[in-house]
Amino acid sequence: YALDLAHKMIADLLGNSTISKEVIHSYSSGFKAITSWTSVESLQLAREVLGGQGLRLCNRIPMLLNHADLITTGEGDNTVLCQQVTKFLLAKYHATIKSAEPSNFKGELSYINHLTSQPPTTSLLGGNGGTDNSSVELNSIAFHQWLLEKREYILIKTLHSRLYGRMDDELIEPNTERWFSNWNQSLPLCKMITKANVDRLTQSFFLHKINQLASTFGSTDTNTITMLKNLCRLDTLFQIQKDLGFFINNGLLIGESKWIQLQDEITHLSRDISPHSHLLTEAFAIPNKFNPLQNSIE
């Protein structure tokens, strides 16, 4: 749901003259790479959930897996696309750092201006007189947003330091053999930056759409708004869980048994969403006019 919504919002931006082509290119490159990788992972999970009997009855999984695997290099190799996203973000970061206002980030990095050293509520981190993340705190969308923004910022800052910092007590000159050598050695970091960027944008797009729906239907359809918020929370927590080592290593999540609390919250959200699973999956069903079992397509 989160990635599908993000793709549709990016498509809507194509006709927006206020959005530059380089921004659209960064969006499309990052989401293509991460979505195609996610598709392969999701289809493998779906295949295992089906079991042997389910696979025999629903034999489109192998066909979809083959198709998804081809997409990982179709329309651009994913690793190359990640480099393009990272170069775009790195150029924006470097230009701001070298400008007359090194702390005034604009455009895609404007979120950095509002980043705080501590999350929205200090007790969220645990320690320092606070308490470990409670279920309520781990359920906070504002806290999720802070975590995603901090991760992307730290990763971009780390890459910038590698490429424009000092090596052997000498400044690294841009576009030199040493610079490109450092760049090639940083390709895993480029993929991490792209994933962090896509995760942050996915949540941002999701929340933007939820707010739009809430302003229109919020007073009459609170259940749908609540379910969509829970879907947003679930997706974000799942992405945080996949990179839990980074958040703990950088002090963004502190406290014993953090992984257990995170898993418990994911399980809790999944339980709340489960009663609506049929409606959620039906939203991706083949339209009747294209389904020969329902209507003639002639």
208-242: per-residue pLDDT in tens? Answer: 999 888 888 766 678 888 889 999 999 999 999 99
Least confident of 38-42, 101-105, 125-129, 285-289: 125-129
Write down the pLDDT at residue 225. 87
pLDDT at 168: 57
Highest averaged pLDDT of the listed ranges 103-112, 189-198, 205-214: 189-198
Confidence of residue 38 (pLDDT cuts 50, 70, 90): very high
Higher pLDDT, 283 or 98: 98
Q: How many residues make up the chain in this entry?
A: 298
Enumerate domains of the chain plus CATH numbers: 77-284 (1.20.140.10)
How far out from the chain centre does Cα 238 lie?
10
Average pLDDT for 265-274: 92
Share of the chain above pLDDT 70, in %: 87
Contacts of 201 (CB under 8 A, 6+ apart): 6, 27, 30, 31
Q: What's the pTM value of the predicted model, to 2 decimals?
A: 0.86
What confidence category does residue 31 fall into, taking pLDDT thresholds of 50, 70 and 90? very high
CA pair distance 89, 143, nearest whole angstrom: 23
Highest mean pLDDT: which of 1-15, 80-94, 132-146, 270-284?
A: 80-94
120 versus 170: which is more confidently predicted? 120
